Every structure is written in structure tokens, then in C-alpha cells.
Amino acid sequence: MSSYDAHFKVWRGDAEGGGLEDFKVEVNDGEVVLDIIHRLQATQTPDLAVRWNCKAGKCGSCSAEINGRPRLMCMTRMSVFSREETITVTPLRAFPVVRDLVTDVGFNYTKAREVPAFVPPEKLGPGEYRMMQEDVDRSQEFRKCIECFLCQDTCHVVRDHEENKPAFAGPRFLMRVAELDMHPLDAAGETGLDRKKTAQDEHGLGYCNITKCCTEVCPEGIKITDNALIPLKERAVDRKYDPLVWLGDKILRRGSSG
């Protein structure tokens, strides 16, 4: 087994401010960036703050930016860098720093609450659900999401635009709307909830101009743009410009307000 010393720059600081600190640290065969951060904790900086959990790419806790690219630290192997390269680790830029590599991801939990939950069909009891595999495939793809929030971090709508946050759910939660919309038994429609319409009107789908940055950083390989956002947009557009739907909407709205 071969080991060498790597040069790391790690952002340290808190809400008041901070900067990059230099470290020389040992690297062994097969290690990932998170191993190196742990070695720093154990040997040089015991109070270096970092979030992590499963260390196997399943929980989505150890999100950070490595050389400027949003990634999971546990799934970034050291072998993708040359031995001479300086590796820079910084916290997710779209969220406020708490300390060192830990950010306040509360934005995501707020947005999660704004998406109305699954509505169970009234007539089916537990054990009576029947769904075909091909009908659940689409939503299942979105349920692979580990909520690492890398897509939320990279999305240019909010990355450097704090002002867009209140009106924009971000790719993760627009995908959640798509997931529920494509669920074969979701009964939202029967309660008067049109998920496609809310994607546009309440969750800010219109801000998305399908640059696919979210898809590129997804560690689960979910085709967020192609499979969730674009279909949602197409449906939203269908409804908006379909004269019959438009007329129906008008009448319904008039009825309910009157």
C-alpha cells in the first residue's frame, strides 16, 4: 500500500467570517476526501466541524464543495486527484455557514413543508393498493433521492440569489411535486389540488430554465431535469395554454369565489 502527503485547503470559520487554512495530511490507498477530513480531526484539528453519517453515499450528509464542485465527500475518491494537486474543501455556498464545513440547510426543510403530502385514495384500505411496476418506476426514480441538497446548492436560481429563495422550492422539491403527481394512486386531484399547477404557481417552476446543473451533480444519477422538471413544465404549459383547461379554470374559480 502506498501513502503520501496531500496538500489540503479547508475553509474554517463561522457566520462572522473565516478563510481557507492549509494542511499537509497523509493519504492512503483507496481513501476518500471524508477520510482525510477525519484524519485532520483526529490528528490536527479536533474541533473541525463536518457533517457526515453513513460514509457510503446513502444518507446525503457530507455534502461540500471540493475544488468548487458540489460533491459528497464520502464518494469522492482521492485517486481522482493527482498527488501534487491542492484539494480545496469549502462549505455549500447556497446555504449560510454554521461552522467550518457545516451549513444551515433549514431552507430545504422549510420547502419540504410547503409541498402538500400524498393524498391516500379514500376507497382503498391498507393492503388493497394495486399498482403496476411500470407505473411506479417514474416516481421510484425520484424517491432514490438521498436529500444531500447538492442540486439545491448548485441551482443558479438560488446559488447567488438569496432573493429568489422565498418563491423557489429548488430542484429537489419540484421533483417531489413531480413524484407525487406521477404517483399512480395519489388522490390530490379529488381534493381539488392540481399539483402541476402548484408547481408553477407556488413552487417557482417558472424560474427553472433547464440548464441541467442539478442533474449533473446528483450523486444518485437521477435525471432531475429530463424526467421530473421538463415533464412538469410541459404539463404546466399544456394546462396554461389549453383553451378548454383555461375556460374550465375560470369557471371553477368563479364558482368557488362566488
Q: Does the footprint of other proteins cover residue 117 (CB under 8 A)?
A: yes
Which residues, in sequence order, are CB contacts of 225 under 8 Å at separation 6+?
Answer: 171, 210, 212, 214, 215
User: With binding defined as CB under 8 A, does residue 123 bind other proteins?
Assistant: no
CA-atom Rg of the chain in angstroms: 22
If binding is defined by CB under 8 A, does position 59 make contact with other proteins?
yes
Name the segment binding other proteins (CB under 8 A); options: 37-45, 164-172, 203-211, 226-234: 37-45
Residue 2 as a binder of other proteins (CB under 8 A): the answer is no
Q: Is 144 in the site for other proteins (CB under 8 A)?
A: yes
**Residue span binding other proteins (CB under 8 A) among the ranges 44-52, 163-171, 189-197, 208-216:** 44-52
- What's 229's DSSP letter? I
- Selected from 2, 17, 24, 113, the binder of other proteins by CB under 8 A is 113
Helix orientation angle between 230-241 and 243-257, rounded to the nearest 10 degrees: 80
188 interacts with other proteins by CB under 8 A: no
At position 183, the amino acid (one-letter code) is H
CB of 143 to other proteins, least distance (A): 6
Q: Is 166 in the site for other proteins (CB under 8 A)?
A: no
Cα–Cα dist 176/203, whole Å: 11
What residues contact residue 221 under an 8 Å CB cut-off, 6+ apart?
none
Q: Which of 247, 75, 220, 227 is nearest to 151 (CA)?
A: 220
Using CB under 8 A, pick the residue from 8, 10, 60, 94 that binds other proteins.
Answer: 60
193 binds other proteins (CB under 8 A): no
55 in contact with other proteins (CB under 8 A)? yes
The x, y and z cell numbers of residue 4, run together, are 503520501
Contact pick of 99, 165, 197, 239 for other proteins (by CB under 8 A): 99
Tell me the window of 135-143, 190-198, 202-210, 238-246 that interacts with other proteins (CB under 8 A).
Answer: 135-143
CA nearest to 72, candidates 34, 26, 28: 34
105 binds other proteins (CB under 8 A): yes
Secondary structure of residue 199 in the 3-state scheme: helix
Q: Is 157 left (phi over 0), alpha (psi -120 to 50) or beta?
A: alpha
157 forms part of the interface with other proteins (CB under 8 A): no
DSSP 8-class letter at 116: P
Residue 66 as a binder of other proteins (CB under 8 A): the answer is no
For the chain, report the end-to-end CA distance as a whole number of angstroms: 77
Judged by the rule CB under 8 A, the positions of this chain that interact with other proteins are 1, 14, 28-32, 35, 41-43, 46-61, 75, 77, 98-100, 102, 105, 109, 112-113, 116-118, 120, 124, 126-127, 129-133, 136, 139-140, 143-144, 146-147, 180, 183, 186, 221
